[in-house]
Chain A
């Protein structure tokens, strides 16, 4: 499964949204109905899935789907 597909799956599962809503420009809080606790949980789910540690100062910047994808790619994660 590609990085994009895996990230999308986690977001759909955690936020209970439709897969079509999960586009790169979607903001977790404004577009996908997340609250601050949801975003903490979401980052924890990414950490577990990709075996990474995402420091709080990085996590704060991950406000959109696209930002997460770029961040994970930048760390060389999600590539089998």
Chain B
């Protein structure tokens, strides 16, 4: 089948490392951590008291006050990220056929904070005091709906929820929608706002989080022997995906090509990754093969690299198996979560933004806090300093609770 090609033409981020592309890239390529003590709620009684928070973000230009009160914070990040991506693309969506643009901007957990707030209302004041906006604020798919309303776009619009792989699958499914001819443009990505009692407490209970509370900026240390869990983070990323000829015709700036997608499931355990890395390995292989490439073409991998003991070990093995021993020695792998923390359902989106900028700028972002080698993690993790190198293609991995694996393959223009 002759596939329609897909260009990445717009990027938008709201993140712990900045809310505009320039700041985001300066920090991601400069190895600057966005992790700090939790300020959004009183975390005194929590084992983990650090997070990657969105700070100093002015919502005024994006969401009027009345609307704002009726959205969970995940939409406070997601809607602006979409607006930033559209602005960056230079597209005038009002002048395009509304039926040919779609949206898949998802979230791992959706409106956790509104759920928490309304649960309190129920317990303290009874069921008659529920807000009529509770359900529309809470449902995870509301963000795709809100973005469609904002831009008047009426094409394919769904929400792909796969925990920490949500944004990656949203991007991949959007690629398929354009390839298949259902739409010419897709706004795709994810948003997450887990820095609240339910979010942090829930992950604490799983013993999944770092407790390096005294050294927030050193807490997210993927692939390092002293890693002790992930650092939760909030924010959003949205990418404008556009059918190649459409982008070329309007003279769009093309960051890179989204060329391949692979997805599998471990079918192993609700949270633990398959120790053999079989599912993740196959997702990577499917992604580069889908792009018409071989292992030797993959110069960089933006790893899932959460900084948990199990993920980083299993993902390392999966990379070795996916690329073969020779290319695994050569490939440069980094986890930008070392700086951003783990944005869960938005992670795959801001990491795809990092991939797009890496390919465009010819610079690979580092894995910071890499100090002590772990014999189980023995790849080139681009430790601590960015590397100036133009690779031709890269992969972006996301692995979600539930065993959901997703890999995207981007090609340099």
Contacts and interface: CB of A to CB of B under 8 A. Distances in A.
Interface string B109-138: 000000000000000000001011100100
Interface string A4-18: 000000000011100
Contacts of B129: 44
A37 interface: yes
Contacts of A31: none
A40 B66 contact: no
B132 A16 contact: no
B64 interface: yes
A41 B66 contact: no
Interface string B56-83: 0000000011110000000000000000
Interface residues of A, number: 7
Contact of A41 (B64, B67, B132): B132
A15 B132 contact: no
A41 B64 CA distance: 18
Contact of A37 (B64, B65, B133): B133
A41 B65 contact: no
Contacts of B65: 16
Contacts of A15: 66
B132 A37 contact: yes
A60 to B, nearest CB: 14
A7 to B, nearest CB: 18
Interface string A32-53: 0000010011001000000000
B66 A37 contact: no
B136 A16 contact: no
A16 B133 contact: no
Interface string B11-34: 000000000000000000000000
A41 B69 CA distance: 12
A16 B131 contact: no
Contacts of A16: 64-67
Nearest to B68: A16
A66 to B, nearest CB: 22
Contacts of A40: 132
B364 to A, nearest CB: 46
Nearest to A48: B129
Interface string A43-79: 0100000000000000000000000000000000000
Contacts of A14: 66
A57 to B, nearest CB: 15
Interface in B122-171: 129, 131-133, 136
A16 B66 CA distance: 5
A75 B81 CA distance: 48
A41 B65 CA distance: 16
B138 to A, nearest CB: 13
Contacts of B131: 41, 44
A44 B131 CA distance: 8
Contacts of A44: 129, 131-132
Contacts of B66: 14-16
Interface string B161-192: 00000000000000000000000000000000
A26 to B, nearest CB: 16
Contacts of B133: 37, 41
A18 B133 CA distance: 22
A15 B66 CA distance: 6
A2 to B, nearest CB: 24
A44 to B, nearest CB: 7
Contacts of B67: 16
Nearest to A53: B128
A44 B130 CA distance: 9
A14 B70 CA distance: 10
10 contacts: A14-B66, A16-B64, A16-B66, A16-B67, A37-B132, A41-B131, A41-B132, A44-B129, A44-B131, A44-B132
Given A37-B136, A40-B132, A44-B131, 13 more contacts: A14-B66, A15-B66, A16-B64, A16-B65, A16-B66, A16-B67, A37-B132, A37-B133, A41-B131, A41-B132, A41-B133, A44-B129, A44-B132
Interface of A: 14-16, 37, 40-41, 44
